[in-house]
Amino acid sequence: MSDIKIQPSGSGTAVVTLTAPTTNTARTITFPDATGTLLNSGSTLDATKLSGALPALSATNLTAIPAANITGTHANFLSTGVDDNATAVKLTVTDSGININGDITFSSASQGICLGVTSNTDANTLDDYEEGTWTGTITVGGSDNLEGTYDSTYTKIGRQVIVHYAAQLTNTTNGTGHLWVSGLPFTKTGGDGDSVMGCNDRMNATSAVFRVADGQSIAKAYKLPTSTSTNLTNFDNADMGNTGKWLYFCLTYYV
């Protein structure tokens, strides 16, 4: 039979107390047949000594682990989500890359994904994406000329906005003057001059463009110059027929 020896410290003065638990059941502590030291709050754990079936680790108990202490060679890292009874793997990290099963969100709307760089750089940060529909209002010289809208969608990627629009105008020309479409989903910034060709039925628009001025959310129609000595001119009611008028355009501008 082996003996149990409690060896006091030769220089320490503190009292070490062993306290029994409050229980009516006998408890047994079995020491391994090797020399070692019990773990404490300042101890490190040798991962090479972990073997066999390990119990599940609670994420609530794995907090504030310094990155400098996570070293060595590791197998795949899996993170399990909690939205479906904690059974679906949401994050997988391997030597070949990272696989994410779910959405990526940030703590701040100003944050984004930095592409092509190793540190945060505004010019390389994709921090905005949005898509949806918008409500356009067609006016000719200030008078409403909209019969029905069939496509009014937009996609915003960073500062770039791409707008699609298709609408039928009223069968008679309402108003006289400049044709424009107001209600673009975002106000344009960053200079004047973005344009796009418009495709139109029952309109004299073979050489028409839509332009959005800086600080506005209105696409105005213009006719292209006919010679090197002329400028853009307004596309107005005189360039529109009275029946079967359709307006189509795809517009790109920056905010």
pLDDT tens sequence across 11-49: 777 777 878 778 888 888 887 777 777 777 677 777 677
- Residue 169: burial class (beta carbons within 10 Å; 0-12, 13-18, 19+): buried
- DSSP letters along 49-76, please? G--SPPPPPPGGGS-S--GGG--S----
Q: Which of 37-41, 95-99, 188-192, 250-254 has the lowest mean pLDDT?
A: 37-41
Evaluate if residue 55 carries a pLDDT over 70: no
> Which one has a higher pLDDT value, 157 or 69?
157
Encode pLDDT of 231-241 as tens digits. 989 999 888 88
Kindly state the average pLDDT of the residues 127-133. 94
Per-residue confidence band for 56, with pLDDT thresholds at 50, 70 and 90: low
pLDDT of residue 135: 93
Q: What is the average pLDDT across 3-11?
A: 75
Of the two residues 50 and 174, the one the predictor is more confident about is: 174
pLDDT of residue 66: 61
- Given a cut of 70, whether residue 94 has pLDDT beyond it is yes
Bridge partners of 200?
Answer: 247
Tokens of 179: 């044709």
pLDDT of residue 3: 74
Which residues touch 116 (CB under 8 Å, ≥6 apart)?
Answer: 124
Taking a C-beta distance cutoff of 8 angstroms, is the pair 214, 190 a contact?
yes
Tokens of 62: 């794995």
How many CB atoms are closer than 10 A to CB 137? Answer: 14
Q: What are the sequence ranges of the domains in the chain?
A: 131-254
Quote the CA–CA distance of 59 and 61 in Å, as a whole number.
Answer: 5
Q: What is the pLDDT of residue 215?
A: 92
Distance between CA 219 and CA 251 in Å, rounded?
Answer: 8
Average per-residue pLDDT in the chain?
A: 80
* 8 Å CB contact between 90 and 101: yes
Q: Which residue has the higher pLDDT, 134 or 203?
A: 134
Q: What does the pLDDT average to over 149-157?
A: 92
State which amino acid sits at residue 85: N
**What is the Cα 15 distance to its own chain's centre?**
58
CA distance 158 to 108: 16
Q: In this predicted structure, what is the pLDDT of residue 63?
A: 61
pLDDT-derived band at 68 (thresholds 50, 70, 90) equals low
Specify the length of the chain in residues. 255
In this structure, the number of other CB atoms found within 10 A of the CB of residue 255 comes to 16
Strands 125-126 and 97-100: unpaired
The answer to whether 136 touches 145, Cβ cutoff 8 Å, is no
pTM exceeding the 0.85 threshold for the entire prediction: no
Model confidence at 76, pLDDT cuts 50, 70, 90, reads low
Residue 192's pLDDT is what?
Answer: 58
> What proportion of the chain, given as a percentage, has pLDDT over 70?
80
